[in-house]
Chain A
Amino acid sequence: MGQSIDDKEITRELWQSRLPICFILSDEDMSKVNRSELPEPLYLMLARHSYFPCIIEKIHRYYSTYFKENVNETTNNINLANLWLEFESIPLKWHYPIGVLYDLYASSVSSTSHLPWQITVHLSKFPEGEILRFPDKESIEAHYMSTIKEADALKHKGQIIGDMQKRDHKQLWNSLLQDKYDGFWNINNKLMNYTDNLQYFRYIPFRVYIVDKPFIQKLFSPYDIDQDKFMTLNDLLDFVLHHEAQCELLANEKKILNTNVDDYQVIIHGIQPPINTPIQWLSEHFSYPDNFLHICLIEKRT
Chain B
Amino acid sequence: MEWKQIIYNQLRERHRQEQDIYSEIVKHYNRLIENYSIILLRCTEQERDILSLRQENTDLQKNSVSVAGLPVNDKVKTLEHDYMKAKDEILTLLRERGDITKEVISLSRIVKERDDKLDSEEKKNQVLTKENTSLKQRLDSAEEKLNALQRVNETIHDEFQALHLAYMQLERRQQELDATNAFLRREMTEKLDKQCNALDEEVQQHQKRIEEDVKRKLDEAKNDVTNSNSTASITTPTSSTSMFRSSNLDGKIHRSPASDFMKVVVPTRAITKWDCGDNELHAIQFHPSGSLIATGGSDRKIHIWEMNTSNGQVQQSYVLTGNNSTVTAIDFDNEGNNLILGCSEDFACRVWGLADQRLRHTLTGHGAKVFCAKFITASLIASGSQDRTLKLWDLQNRQCVRTLFAGSKCHDLVAHDASGSLISGHFDKKIRFWDSKNDSTKCELQLQAAITSLAINREKHLLLACSRDDTLKLIELRENRVIQTFSHDDFKVTSDTIKAVLSPDCAYACAGGNDGSVFIWNTSTGKIEKIFNKEHSTIVNAVAWHPEGRFIVSCEKQRRAILWGE
Interface residues of A (CB under 8 A from B): 1, 3, 5, 9-10, 13-14, 16-20, 37, 40, 42-45, 65, 112, 115-116, 269-274, 276-278, 281, 286
A44 touches B10 (CB 8 A): no
A274 touches B11 (CB 8 A): no
Q: Which of B7, B19, B22 contacts A277 (CB 8 A)?
A: B7
B30 touches A273 (CB 8 A): no
Given the contacts A18-B19, A43-B29, A273 and B7 also touching, CB distance less than 8 Å: yes
A5 touches B12 (CB 8 A): no
Given the contacts A270-B14, A271-B11, A44 and B26 also touching, CB distance less than 8 Å: yes
B22 touches A273 (CB 8 A): no
Q: Does B23 interact with chain A (Cβ within 8 Å)?
A: yes
A-B residue pairs, 6 tightest by C-beta: A20-B22, A271-B10, A274-B3, A277-B3, A43-B26, A13-B11
Expressed in whole angstroms, the Cα–Cα distance for A14 and B37 within the complex equals: 34
Expressed in whole angstroms, the Cα–Cα distance for A17 and B13 within the complex equals: 11
How far apart are B35's CB and chain A's nearest CB, in angstroms? Answer: 12
A10 touches B11 (CB 8 A): yes
A-B contact pairs, 23 of them (CB 8 A): A5-B4, A10-B11, A13-B8, A16-B15, A17-B19, A18-B18, A19-B19, A20-B18, A43-B30, A44-B30, A45-B22, A45-B27, A112-B17, A115-B21, A116-B26, A269-B14, A270-B14, A271-B7, A271-B10, A271-B11, A271-B14, A277-B3, A277-B4
How far apart are A66's CB and chain B's nearest CB, in angstroms? Answer: 11
Expressed in whole angstroms, the Cα–Cα distance for A19 and B19 within the complex equals: 6
Given the contacts A13-B11, A20-B23, A276 and B17 also touching, CB distance less than 8 Å: no
Majority DSSP secondary structure for residues of B touching A: helix
Q: Which of A1, A19, A44 contacts B18 (CB 8 A)?
A: A19
**Which residues of B lie under 8 Å from residue A10 when comparing CB positions?**
4, 7-8, 11
**Which residues of A lie under 8 Å from residue B14 when comparing CB positions?**
17, 269-271
Q: Which of B18, B21, B27, B30 contacts A17 (CB 8 A)?
A: B18
**Binary per-residue interface labels of chain B (272-298) against chain A in the complex, 1 for a CB within 8 Å, 0 otherwise:** 000000000000000000000000000
Q: Does B40 interact with chain A (Cβ within 8 Å)?
A: yes
Q: Does B5 interact with chain A (Cβ within 8 Å)?
A: yes
Q: Does B182 interact with chain A (Cβ within 8 Å)?
A: no
Nearest CB to that of A35 among chain B residues? B40
Expressed in whole angstroms, the Cα–Cα distance for A9 and B2 within the complex equals: 16
Q: Does B100 interact with chain A (Cβ within 8 Å)?
A: no
Within 8 A of A (CB), among B82-122: none
Given contact pairs A14-B11, A273-B10, a sample of 7 additional A-B residue pairs in the complex whose CB atoms are under 8 Å apart: A1-B5, A9-B8, A13-B11, A45-B27, A115-B21, A271-B7, A273-B6
**Which residues of B lie under 8 Å from residue A13 when comparing CB positions?**
8, 11-12, 15
Expressed in whole angstroms, the Cα–Cα distance for A49 and B3 within the complex equals: 22
